[in-house]
A and B are shown apart, each in its own frame.
Chain A
Amino acid sequence: MSYRTDRQRVQGLGVAHTGVEHWWVQRVYAAALIPLTVLFIFPFARALGSGWEAARAVYASPFNAIIAMLFFLAAFNHMRLGLQDIIEDYVHQKTIRTVLLVLNVCGCWALALIGIFAVARIAFTA
């Protein structure tokens, strides 16, 4: 007779081998992105195609710059968690899957920090 409970037998057998934290954090980023995307997209739409000086002037505003940085932080983390789900769902070959999961973490964090750095550089030099 086994002393292992049913729960213990199935724990970690889902596609991701883990669960609630990922789901929950993804929703927190999603909720944060509701105001952040709206506040980001309209100044960006205005800055786009307005020329070097005018575009940089938009992000010389501390408000626009901080919103853009928070947006990059939340968006690329939301993207990291979402892409992780997609990789876990569709890529079954163990090596490829692991490589893609690692690349996803590195790529998303790199993009977040590159974006934040670029905004900071504009804000401090414009």
Chain B
Amino acid sequence: MGADVNRGNRPLSPHLQIYRKQLNSGMSIFHRITGVAIGGAMLLVVSWFIAASSHPKAFDTVDGLLTSWIGGLILLLAMAAFWYHFFNGIRHLVWDTGSGFELGEIHKSGIYVLAATAVATVITWIVALV
């Protein structure tokens, strides 16, 4: 420890792996993971725009890749990751105002985020297909 504070001869707080798995901690780390995943998907989005700005052949290659079954699967997962990060991000912004911190509220808002993610992902997918 940097600061020489007398911490006493007390037990250390339990290590991370000792805690029971719970929705809140899982959703917290998932926010980070989805954030990084969206960053990866943004590389695909930008390459699509580069292709669309250059010439039809390049566009057909990139667009074809992104609408193939594997590209589609990646985009579907990216879409789910995005909506999760979107709704959980709003949840974070609400917390930043100092509200919604009661244990029951936190659990409930977590469920709402998961439900909203599922609904929004399906809606976006339908828009993309029609």
Contact = CB atoms under 8 A, between A and B. Distances in A.
A56 B52 contact: yes
Given A34-B86, A111-B46, A48 B63 contact: yes
Interface in B30-84: 32, 35-36, 38-39, 42-43, 45-46, 48-50, 52-53, 56, 59-60, 63, 66-67, 75, 82
A119 interface: yes
A76 B46 CA distance: 11
Interface residues of B, number: 33
A46 interface: yes
Contacts of A86: 32, 36
Contact of B45 (A42, A44, A82): A44
A31 interface: yes
| Interface of A (DSSP majority class) | helix
Contact of B67 (A31, A49, A56, A118): A49
A125 B92 CA distance: 41
Contacts of A118: 46, 49-50, 52-53
